[in-house]
Amino acid sequence: MRASEDTLAADVRETHRAWLDEVQQELGPACEPEAGVWGRWRAVQYLEHVFAPRFRHEQAAVNGIAAQCPPACAMHLWALGELIELLLDQLAELGHMVQRGACFVEAAGKFLRAFQCWCEETEHAIAVLPSEPGAGEVMQHLRPLVRPVPQARAGHTPSTESVHGSAATR
């Protein structure tokens, strides 16, 4: 991997860490034991209007390099993208149901784990891209992934323990 690829990989990794933190902060309050339907609704609004468009943008960029990735890596990224989309749909459905708090928490935990795997697999894909002529063009597909993460809405307190599990299970 060339220096520009190393830098891109590090930048994407840093962007992903900030994004994961943001998602955990946004979902955390909805996964607290006392959270009600309005807390879940707010989390769903974040997922639908902030997370999903950004994820789909990243997914399109990653799809642009899939042909240069090892087949197993490309397949993992495709499967994780599909899983995240299914979990987004499930969370949207559960978020509007009054008596489905426990199911929402379980789905949110799965969603966060799938998104963490997506981030790690994307970072791995960048790391294993071949360094050959034309690789710079491939890297241009990925440059849009590196951007500042919008700040989470004011008033949210992160509760990653209730959403993501203990550090021992991560």
Residue-range domain boundaries for the chain: 3-146
**b/e string for 20-58 if b means 16 or more Cβ within 10 A?**
bebbbbbbbbbbeeebebebbebbbebbeebbeeebeeb
The residue ranges of the chain whose pLDDT is under 50 are 1, 133, 149, 151-170
DSSP code string of 64-98: TTGGGS-HHHHHHHHHHHHHHHHHHHHHHHHHT-T
Q: CA-CA distance, 6 to 42, in Å (whole number)?
A: 37
Residue 86 CB contacts under 8 Å (≥ 6 apart), including other chains: none
Specify the pLDDT at position 77. 96
Task: Tell me the whole-structure pTM to 2 decimals.
Answer: 0.79
